[in-house]
Structure 1
């Protein structure tokens, strides 16, 4: 099971995942998770990565592209989540498969 925290800020839905524990989602997994029909839907997803000494935050858009977090997103992380989701092991497995498929497609091109 994977716990995902949800934030609603300025009319947008943000998902926050801790990639330091177990599975570190990539672009394929984020596309699946943020898909409003196949996943849970979101406008952006932030993944906590690295370690306490060298923390990093990856931001993904629904198309799987990534960018650096902006100041508003970093400030939002200091607030209280609006909701919490518990992803089943089965769905996390589908996310891992989506990442594997995306890596295979990238390697083939």
Structure 2
């Protein structure tokens, strides 16, 4: 099955949105995705799962390390959800971004660019294999 990711450039930072449908990618897979030489390329990767029932949201740097989410991470993620017509809990985002979230999102449309990338089954298998090898080496 082909995996689709969305990349956004906002304030000179490239964000990748990755929906973890089956399993959470590991450090090696995230690093491959963020690689501008061997992957898609990104400065930050925003990983989410199960947005409708029990949402989980993680932010990683280009080297695959988890980091705390910044306000712009939430803003880009909210923009993505709105673009995909996925309903969001506005109260949660307002708590994080303030009550001007709708204004911020509408202004953001002028200052953000995006593209869609499709990860082939071969590339997804390569990501899983890298994580597996990385896990074996760590044990």
TM-score between both structures, scaled by the size of structure 1: 0.87
Question: d(CA) in 2 for partners of 1:41 and 1:16?
Answer: 12
**Aligned pairs, how many?**
106
User: Counterpart of 2:4?
Assistant: 3
- Determine whether 1:72 maps to 2:104: no
Structure 1 or 2, whichever has the larger Rg, is 2
Q: Which runs of 5+ in 2 are unaligned?
A: 84-112
Q: Give the structure with the larger helix fraction.
A: 2
RMSD of aligned alpha carbons:
1.6
TM-score between both structures, scaled by the size of structure 2: 0.70
User: Counterpart of 1:27?
Assistant: 27
Q: Give the structure with the larger strand fraction.
A: 1
How far residue 41 of structure 1 moved from its aligned partner, in angstroms, is 1.1
Question: d(CA) in 2 for partners of 1:31 and 1:103?
Answer: 14
Q: Which runs of 5+ in 1 are unaligned?
A: none
How far residue 51 of structure 1 moved from its aligned partner, in angstroms, is 5.3
